Structure 1
Amino acid sequence: MVGIFCWLFSFFILIALLVLVVYQLMCLADLEFDYINPYDSASRINNVIIPEFIVQGGLCVFFLVSGHWFMALLGVPYLYYNAKSYMDKKHLVDVTEIFNLLSWEKKKRLFKLGYLLFILFLSLFWMIWTALEDDEHY
């Protein structure tokens, strides 16, 4: 039963990460269609970048602590990318360059979205697998 709760917790954390990335994509789309000015878009995106990094790092640590080594290994490239961009101070969106980098910023977040969806589907698979295994024991 503990295994199901671990997978359920990771599912909700992954949903939170997906919401943060989709929010960033929406801000970029609003900027592209001129619904929002560059300053507001950059400040909204920059406000959620650090929480995204912290939540993703916490998820990776949670997978390690709970003994789900494969899922932790799948989270390492994303964690490395976040840490590398933070260390290089390239994690924030620059207001003055946001129009020049709009296409790149959208592609980056779409890649993150796809990566998180892949991990979410794997997490759902393992949660269902664990539930079926627990059901056989009773």
Structure 2
Amino acid sequence: MDSSPFVWLIAFFILLGLLGLLVYQLMCLADLEFDYINPYDSATRINAVVVPEYVLQGILSLFFLLSGHWAMALLSLPLLCYDASLYQRRRHLVDVTEIFNHLNLEKKRRLVKVVVLVILLFLSLFWMIWSMLEDE
């Protein structure tokens, strides 16, 4: 039996974790927008999961690269490069004092990430099913 279904299964769960982190950040931003939470608490909660999100994205890209799935590694590379550029410019954390001014931008950035990750999730699910059917 080929190990490819297990690779896709691991990638599927990593993508679910990434989507969970991004949905959590979007919920914090929505709570802030509707005034359910104060800016300090919202920024603290978002900043606590930003670096783990970036690390998980790097692990996913490296996992695709090491497992030999070059197309998926190339599809996840732009998001990884974008995250790395934000981290290098020190713009990855949400500023408490400027969070209301950048609220729409922060929500749009995270929504674009969610769309890219959902596409990767569906592709990994498709390839997982394909590799399972191919083994039989």
Q: How does 1:1-138 map to 2 (within 5 A)?
A: 1-135=2-136
- Secondary structure (helix, strand or coil) at the match of 1:99 reads coil
Structure 1: which 5+ residue stretches go unaligned? none
Q: Distance in 2 between matches of 1:6 and 1:112?
A: 22
Give the Å deviation of 1:68: 0.4
Q: Distance in 2 between matches of 1:107 and 1:115?
A: 12
Q: Distance in 2 between matches of 1:92 and 1:59?
A: 21
What RMSD in Å do the two structures reach over aligned CA positions? 0.5
- How many residues align? The count is 135
Give the Å deviation of 1:46: 0.2
Residues 50-91 of structure 1 show CA distances to partners (whole Å, capped at 9, x for unaligned) of 000000000000001101000000011000000000000000
Q: Distance in 2 between matches of 1:85 and 1:76?
A: 14
Q: Structure 1 residue runs of 4+, over 2 Å off?
A: none
Q: Distance in 2 between matches of 1:5 and 1:133?
A: 14
Identity of matched residues, %: 64
Q: Distance in 2 between matches of 1:129 and 1:28?
A: 37
- Secondary structure (helix, strand or coil) at the match of 1:11 reads helix
Give the Å deviation of 1:103: 0.5
Q: Distance in 2 between matches of 1:6 and 1:71?
A: 12
Relative to the length of structure 1, the TM-score reads 0.97
